[in-house]
Structure 1
Amino acid sequence: MRTHIVFCFVFAFASLKTSLGAEWCYQSQVTCAKPCQGPLKWPEVAATCGGKAQSPINIVTKKTLTDGRLQPLSYTGYQYAFQSDIINNGHSGNFCVHIVQVNLPDSAKIEGGNLESSYKAIQLHFHWGADGGPGSEHTIDGEQYPMEMHIVHIKQRYHSLSEALKDKSGVAVLGFFYQESGSSNRKYDSVINALKNIIRPGTNTTLYDLSLETLIPSHSDLTVYYRYQGSLTTPQCDEAVVWTVFENTIPLSKQQLSAFSQLSFADGQKMTSTFRPVQPLYGREVYRSSAVAVWVNSGLLLCSVLSVVALNLSD
């Protein structure tokens, strides 16, 4: 064991001297034979990754601040079915690359919820663990969920992500957590079945008659969310993202969650743990929608009513 550790260190050091420009990768990809730059070394790949407004973060609910302006968002075009490719790009070391990505029609838009303007959708992608284990990027009170979906939007006036990234609030990302359930979520059948056709990197297949509305919780479950200013979660980690992270989860069965782990990276290694660890807040505030406060107050009101009823019954 000791010899193996020494060998790894020497090998990594020798490789570092000859390949300071090594590509970035997730921690699950870092091996002695492949000394790519894992999350802790991303600032060496892109200096922005060492900034003070990085994502993801751990959301400590008791430290969040209620903001009455964070009303339910308005979703336009989310209900319309579209046809698009789902892509396994296997991570090629390029910037703004996501492992499994679905390009979206820009007719899908969000606004409201104290967003600066209307934002149009451009793509969605996923981050996951290993065979349904912990894999979300954001965490809530330290809890890491099995998977997380990001729906990426840019301000209506911009024509590309690269253009939007020059604006500190040019990108708006909606984050959704997944939770293991005892039964399959039939709404995800087309996505899960498509994964079988994109096992290897550089492959894609077409999704038909899919709508964003079918992939996210019902509108009544979208009122509770958290908001903060952050970054992309892959290099170059541009700090130009307004994050909206929803509390209510999306159910998937163990088998459905595990299907993502059957994909492979470019080197043939199983594609698992495709998430960046949480980053320091550095004094940033995290806000919660007023619906959270309403829910809490409603609970208190219910307790008060029950107390009054109990007192009356005891008289």
Structure 2
Amino acid sequence: MLTPVLFFLASSIKIISGADWCYQSQVMCNDSCPGPEGWAVVSQHCSGRAQSPVNIVRRKTLPDERLTPLHFIGYQETFHARIVNTGHTVQLDLPAGAVIKGGDLAVPYKAIQLHLHWGKDGGPGSEHTIDGEQFPMEMHIVHIKEEYNSLSQALGDRTGVAVLAFFFQEWASANKKYDALVRALKHIRQPSNSTTLNGLSLDMLLPPQSNRTTYFRYQGSLTTPSCAEALIWTVFENTIRLSKQQLAAFCQLKFSNGKQMEKTHRPVQPLNGRKVYYSGGHSALVSSTLLIISVMASSGLSLHARG
């Protein structure tokens, strides 16, 4: 028979080991669900030194000519996919077929799901920030190395997961390409609710390919527990435009504790010496080469060796 003290300790261990987690916006006074500052109770990885998201300071980024434009394979193909309220976000489970490669990624990565993070009624809500600026929403397209069969398996590899992050900005008019996704939200307001989206492609949800050439790259973690440090982050500079009404529609969803699903973002984490690289190094190299060729041409110099 357990003594009262041992019973208390056993109960405490059970609560901690089985703890769920919450965003700060859903934490209540009488709630044992830990907010972001307490996520280390849920997973010790959350107190690691390579955590995400981060604030990207442009002047401190390092141009890297190896960060060439990514190749988006199968992103143009339409598909049917399940969209679900996970109790923490809205997630779209992606069928097999979409792959990214290039951009200094060692191997191809296959897409498995996308989800979003947002604020309140179109207010600040992105996870990553640029020079301290927080955008209304951020989309994460999660990829794993082709050799793996699941996210959990890929998280055992320090570079097993590659996530593409896209920022949203408020625009005067609605983005028609997002109509189907926004309409689907009314069918998944409660946690675990799901529905099917038809005739959608990943390309429809992204900026044009010509606007996907500039991005930031760094090594980090999942932004929710387990906070595993196994991610290669690619954060794109160009934004996706949605109307204020479209952005606010995401707040119609409910958290797992019944509160309005808003401000679904983790605070930025310290870099702790990590470097953030910028694909501008590639475009700068190309521009410099073109400038040299132009100057030489205007000076009457030949690029060919003299015989």
2:54–2:268 Cα contact (<8 Å) kept: yes
Q: Distance in 1 between matches of 2:164 and 2:91?
A: 15
C-alpha displacement of 1:34: 1.5
Q: Identity of aligned pairs, percent?
A: 61
Q: Distance in 2 between matches of 1:283 and 1:89?
A: 34
Select the residue among 102, 110, 134 that pairs with 2:124: 134
After the TM superposition, which residues 33-182 of structure 1 pair with which residues of structure 2 at under 5 Å, given as runs?
Answer: 33-91=30-88, 99-182=89-172
C-alpha displacement of 1:292: 7.2
C-alpha displacement of 1:18: 8.8
Is 1:277 the counterpart of 2:273 in the alignment? no
C-alpha displacement of 1:106: 2.1
Q: Where does residue 305 of structure 2 map in the other structure?
A: none
Select the residue among 16, 20, 30 that pairs with 1:20: 16
Q: Distance in 2 between matches of 1:45 and 1:196?
A: 31
Q: Give the number of equivalent residue pairs.
A: 279
After the TM superposition, which residues 212-231 of structure 1 pair with which residues of structure 2 at under 5 Å, given as runs?
Answer: 212-231=202-221
CA offsets 1:125-145 (integer angstroms, 9 cap, x no match): 000000000000000000000
Q: Where does residue 251 of structure 2 map in the other structure?
A: 261
- The residue type equivalent to 1:165 in the other structure is L
Q: Where does residue 304 of structure 2 map in the other structure?
A: none
C-alpha displacement of 1:103: 0.6
Select the residue among 2, 24, 29 that pairs with 2:26: 29
C-alpha displacement of 1:290: 3.1
- The residue type equivalent to 1:105 in the other structure is P
2:61–2:275 Cα contact (<8 Å) kept: yes
Q: Where does residue 231 of structure 2 map in the other structure?
A: 241
1:224–1:291 Cα contact (<8 Å) kept: no
1:71–1:290 Cα contact (<8 Å) kept: no
2:64–2:282 Cα contact (<8 Å) kept: no
Say which SS state the counterpart of residue 16 (structure 2) adopts: coil
C-alpha displacement of 1:267: 2.5
Q: Cα 1:269–1:225, aligned 2, differ >3 Å: closer, same or farther?
A: same
1:75–1:110 Cα contact (<8 Å) kept: yes
Q: Where does residue 3 of structure 2 map in the other structure?
A: none
C-alpha displacement of 1:83: 0.1
Q: CA RMSD in A?
A: 2.0
Q: Distance in 2 between matches of 1:144 and 1:88?
A: 24
C-alpha displacement of 1:16: 7.8
Q: Where does residue 302 of structure 2 map in the other structure?
A: none
After the TM superposition, which residues 190-209 of structure 1 pair with which residues of structure 2 at under 5 Å, given as runs?
Answer: 190-209=180-199
Gaps of 5+ in 1: 1-14, 92-98, 306-315
Q: Distance in 1 between matches of 2:200 and 2:139?
A: 15
Q: Distance in 1 between matches of 2:87 and 2:189?
A: 9
C-alpha displacement of 1:88: 0.4
Q: Distance in 1 between matches of 2:74 and 2:13?
A: 51
2:65–2:285 Cα contact (<8 Å) kept: no
Q: Cα 1:272–1:296, aligned 2, differ >3 Å: closer, same or farther?
A: farther
Is 1:185 the counterpart of 2:185 in the alignment? no
C-alpha displacement of 1:293: 5.2
Q: Cα 1:292–1:117, aligned 2, differ >3 Å: closer, same or farther?
A: closer
